[in-house]
Amino acid sequence: MIRQILISIFILISVQARSQGCLKDSLISDFVNGKLVLINNLSIVNTNDPFFSKLLSLQFTACEVISPERGYKLYGSLGKKGVISITLFDVEPLRGQYVDLVDASLLKYFDQENPAYYLTNGIPNRDMYMALNSLTNKKIEEIDVIDKGEAQAIWGNRAKNGAISVTFNKTEPLTLFSK
């Protein structure tokens, strides 16, 4: 019994040490240099230093540094510089901090190398970044992937790489916090 308690304590301490160690010195610079930073599977799009300071003071349930190769496989070209994925048990201390988020499950559809034609709530976007910006802090309801042939038949040559149509909830925002 005591042995199991000691093992549990050791595991908890080592997870916390690894979690804190993978972030303390590099999180802000990694973010600025193009690595994806995910919190509870939400991608940080934009934030400020006080948010990161507060984040770094919290206890992490898990923190994973994902290689550029694996980041590309999971999140498409937006993950090609690598990914830092943080899991927080309690996000409440971050309430009131400025942060813009995008549901990370969307990122694999946004390819810088072969951009699709993007529509958000039926509205065409000029480019991938405009589409992503329109999805910031929006709760996603549906994602439709339209193949190249069908997309090109509907929207012409601008949809030669296919189309992605994302429908988001206009009234319920995406947030780290439960209501």
What pLDDT shows up at residue 29? 82
Question: 148 is written with which tokens?
Answer: 């190249």
What pLDDT shows up at residue 22? 60
What pLDDT shows up at residue 17? 41
By residue range, what is the domain housing residue 126? 110-171
Last residue of a domain, one of 84, 104, 124: 104
Work out the end-to-end distance of the chain between its first and last CA atoms, rounded to an integer number of angstroms.
Answer: 39
Q: Are residues 147 and 76 in the same domain?
A: no
Give the number of domains in the chain: 2
What pLDDT shows up at residue 69? 95
Burial degree of 91 (CB within 10 A; 0-12, 13-18, 19+)? middle
Q: Is 179 inside a domain boundary?
A: no
Task: Give the Cα-Cα-Cα angle 166, 88, 139 (nearest 5 degrees).
Answer: 20
In the Cβ-directed half-sphere of 23, how many Cα atoms lie within 13 Å?
27
Q: Are residues 81 and 164 in the same domain?
A: no
Q: Which of 51, 44, 47 is nearest to 85 (CA)?
A: 44
- DSSP single-letter state for residue 59: P
Q: Are residues 114 and 165 in the same domain?
A: yes
Last residue of a domain, one of 104, 127, 153: 104
Q: List CB contacts of 142: < 8 A, sequence separation 6 or more.
A: 165, 166, 167
Task: List the chain pLDDT tens, one digit each, 179 residues.
Answer: 554 544 444 444 444 444 444 655 677 788 888 899 999 999 999 888 889 888 888 888 888 999 999 999 999 999 999 999 999 989 999 988 999 999 999 999 998 888 999 999 999 998 888 999 999 999 999 999 999 999 999 999 999 999 999 999 988 888 887 65
